[in-house]
Amino acid sequence: MRVTYELDPPEAAQALALIESVGRADGPGHARGRVVSQKDARVVLDFPDANWDGDVTLLVSSLLAGEWADSAAFSRCRLVEAEWPVGLLPGPAFAAPDEVLVGAIVKPSLGLSPSEVAETAASLAAGGADLVKDDELLGDIRSCPLEERVRAVAAAIPPHVRYAANVTGPADSLLGRAARAVGLGAGALMVNAFAQGLDSVRALRAADLGVPIFAHRVGAALLVRDPRFGVAPTVVAEVTRLCGADYVQVGSFTGSVYDTPDEVRAQIGACHRELPGVARAVAVLGGGVSPENAGEQIEAAGIRSGVMVLLGSAAYERGSLTEAVRTTVSSVRPNTALEIA
């Protein structure tokens, strides 16, 4: 596997290769990372694939969030590019459709009963939403149990509208929760990929439950926002896709989230660029997206295939949720004829 870091001081490149592999200068050569090239502060390293054998947790522990971040040897160390070995990870189970999708989040984030979640989801679906999802803060809690919530929402929305139930929670019961949610009618599954751990996305993908996976990026900002240490947003988006996420959040052009316009476009590219044997993921534009600016998001993205605009709190400011979604759909898919139930 080949990776590129922005590194300071540049002469610490060999130390970085050792930290991320054998740990000592006298470590075995077959497992050792090596410096391939170096130009100014940009360093290219190679690592044997056998060092992690497709284990996402080891990959993260080495390359994305390794001990190099603890080391006083570096004043800058940021992973900016990765060349993924063919077959390392499975990628999405559902290829991104050749259109613009509209998603919507059930709000408020907390405090609703299952029946109230279902009523809100029904209003969003009636406006033409392709996907309705839980907020990342709503898990399987006593005031709104997951199973009761899924059952209520599934009964309230048309079967063609996907409800992404948030199955984030205790790791030992993750797959059981997910299977139960699908069995009760969830048309998609959401997991807080960086709070639960990226391997949770791979585990859900491997479980082959027959529905797409929405990877929420809450927590990823702690990896990407510091320009000196961490990981470039494009690498985070791409590894999330590779783990099996069908929907990958990429920020927005609204200015309400940290991503710059160039970073958003680069993350869309990371969701779509050709990787052998790996399907495209839907790039989800979210954060400050409203019925008024949704069309501008698509124009700024420069692509009308494999993207979603995701409505959050802004959809609730109009009074009518159905009208807010309908307006959004019309702005991003002007030729779509809607039949509102």
- Domain positions in the chain: 2-83, 100-332
Is the pLDDT at 337 greater than 90? The verdict is no
pLDDT, mean of residues 214-236:
95
Q: Are 189 and 209 in contact (CB under 8 A)?
A: yes
Do 2-83 and 100-332 show the same overall fold?
no
pLDDT, mean of residues 225-231:
94
- Tell me the pLDDT tens digit for each residue of 1-33: 999 999 999 899 999 999 999 999 999 999 999
Q: Is it true that domain 2-83 has CATH number 3.30.1360.120?
A: no
Which residues contact residue 12 at a Cβ distance below 8 angstroms, ignoring those fewer than 6 apart? Answer: 73, 74
> What's the predicted TM-score (pTM) here?
0.96
- CATH number of 100-332, picked from 1.20.1250.20, 3.40.50.720, 3.20.170.30, 3.20.20.110: 3.20.20.110
> Measured in whole angstroms, how far is the alpha carbon of residue 191 from the centre of its chain?
9
Length of the chain: 341
The mean of the pLDDT values for the chain is: 95
The DSSP letter of residue 137 is T
Helix axis angle for 233-243 and 261-272, nearest 10°, is 30
The pLDDT, as a whole number, for residue 341 is: 41
CA–CA separation, 94 and 245 (whole Å): 9
Q: Are 57 and 199 in contact (CB under 8 A)?
A: yes
- Tell me the pLDDT tens digit for each residue of 276-327: 999 999 999 999 999 999 999 999 999 999 999 999 999 999 789 999 999 9
Q: pLDDT-based confidence at 338, cuts 50/70/90? A: very low
In three state form, how does the secondary structure of 180-235 look?
A: HHHHCCCCEEEEEHHHHCCHHHHHHHHHCCCCCEEEECCCCHHHHCCCCEEECHHH
Backbone angle region of 306, left / alpha / beta, with phi > 0 → left and psi within -120 to 50 → alpha: left
Q: pLDDT-based confidence at 340, cuts 50/70/90? A: very low
Burial zone of 97 (CB within 10 Å; 0-12 exposed, 13-18 middle, 19+ buried): middle
The pLDDT, as a whole number, for residue 318 is: 79
The pLDDT, as a whole number, for residue 336 is: 66
> Which residues sit opposite 213 in a β-bridge?
189
pLDDT, mean of residues 191-199:
96
The pLDDT, as a whole number, for residue 54 is: 86
CA–CA separation, 102 and 84 (whole Å): 30
- Tell me the pLDDT tens digit for each residue of 69-117: 888 989 999 999 999 999 999 999 999 999 999 999 999 999 999 999 9
Instruction: Give residue 188's identity as a one-letter amino acid code.
Output: A
- Tell me the pLDDT tens digit for each residue of 133-173: 999 999 999 999 999 999 999 999 999 999 999 999 999 99
Q: pLDDT-based confidence at 270, cuts 50/70/90? A: very high
